[in-house]
Structure formats: structure tokens, C-alpha cells
Amino acid sequence: MSRFALFDLDGTLADRQSALSDALTCLCRSRALSPEAEQWLRIQLVDRATIHDFALLRDVFGLEASAADLWQQYVDLMSAAVTCRPEVLEGLARLRAAAWTIGIITNGAGDIQRAKLAGTGLASLVDGVAASGDLEIRKPDRRLFELAATRCGVSLADGGWMIGDNPAGDIGGGHQAGLRTIWLRGRPWPDALPAAHHVVDDVTDAITILLNEISE
């Protein structure tokens, strides 16, 4: 088994939900948005955000600011608010020290996902990044896994691991890509989906599993 691991970003390595809440509070205050507009944004962005959400916000609530300005402010606020716990950064550094190749595979717009990787300190710890917005291909599509592997300089044919919190996108997609999988428990598990190889409560437990893996 090759020492190659792909990690999901939001809800796996980084806590998007608390960052989102802080960023939206800040954005809505600075733009003096109505409570209705704030509520709308919180629902609209619950899973992911793109510039189109801000174009819609602007139209629906009659804002003067351009969608590009609103989006840029959101990207800046999110990249400042999002965090990765020190023990997670440390775990990834240990994997790299043990000759693991580490990639990020994420459903999201490329600019904000890269800003978040820089803001959390993850950018310098990974070998390659594939964001769905780059190609308009989303997990569980195997092609996004192939892109991630290529950007890491490895081949899916050599195997590896996928670690994430989304059953269909991360674990189902990982299986289809021929990877072993570790699920970060939290969401309901869909009945029809084959089980992950391991299930953990914390991403640091997943890193420990990888570190204990004896190469075959």
C-alpha cells in the first residue's frame, strides 16, 4: 500500500462551520445588512459558497456593492477565521516525516479553498490540492481524485487512503478511486453505501491509523 493520503478539507482538517458563522457576522455588520439578508446568507452558504451566491444576495436584497467585492471580502474573512488545530498540523507533519505524500481534495471554489489552506497553515504541509471549482468536477467523481493524485505526483493505481467526513463524496468516492478509506463520523450513514475501512471520531485518530500502517 502506497504512502499516499488524500484528506477532505471542510469538516475534516478545518472547522468550516464556526469560521463561517464568525465571517458572516463580520461581513453582515460591516455592510449593515438586514437580519433577513443575514439569515438568507447563513442558509445559502451552509454547505459551500461561490461568487454566484453573492450575486444572488445582491439582486435579492438590492445591495449596491458588486458581487466581486462581496465575494472578496467573504474570502478574506473566511481565510482569517478558519483554523486547523495544532495537533492536526503536527500529525500531518509527522506523516510527511514518515515519507507520506499528502493531498487535499475538496468540493469548493478554488480561490477560497486555497486562501483557507494558506490561512490555516495547511498549505505548506501538503503536496497537492484539487478543488472541485477548478474543473467543475465534484467528489465523488473519480476524475477529481485522479487530478489530486496527479498534482501530488503519484498514481491512483498505486493505491492509498482517503480521509473525510462526507459518506458519499469522500468515502464512496474514495472507494471508487480504489483507495482505502477512513470516515470521520458525524453525518448519518446512507444504507446503500459500503462501509469505510475505518471509522474515527477525530481526524487525529485517522492520522494515527496511517502512522501505524505497516507498508506491504
Residues that bind Mg ion (CB under 5 A): 8, 10-11, 165-166
Helix axes of 35-44 and 51-61: crossing angle, nearest 10 degrees: 150
Based on CB atoms, which residue is closest to Mg ion, 14 or 77? 14
Based on CB atoms, which residue is closest to Mg ion, 33 or 116? 116
Query: Cβ of residue 187: shortest distance to Mg ion, in angstroms?
Result: 9
Query: Cβ of residue 206: shortest distance to Mg ion, in angstroms?
Result: 13
Based on CB atoms, which residue is closest to Mg ion, 138 or 197? 138
CA-nearest of 51, 39, 40, 46 to 20 is 46
Query: Cβ of residue 61: shortest distance to Mg ion, in angstroms?
Result: 29
Tell me the residue number closest to Mg ion, measured at CB: 11
| Sheet of 161-164, strand order | 128-131, 101-106, 4-7, 161-164, 180-184, 198-200
β-partners of residue 107 are none
Query: Cβ of residue 161: shortest distance to Mg ion, in angstroms?
Result: 16
Based on CB atoms, which residue is closest to Mg ion, 57 or 78? 78
Query: Cβ of residue 68: shortest distance to Mg ion, in angstroms?
Result: 27
Based on CB atoms, which residue is closest to Mg ion, 9 or 149? 9
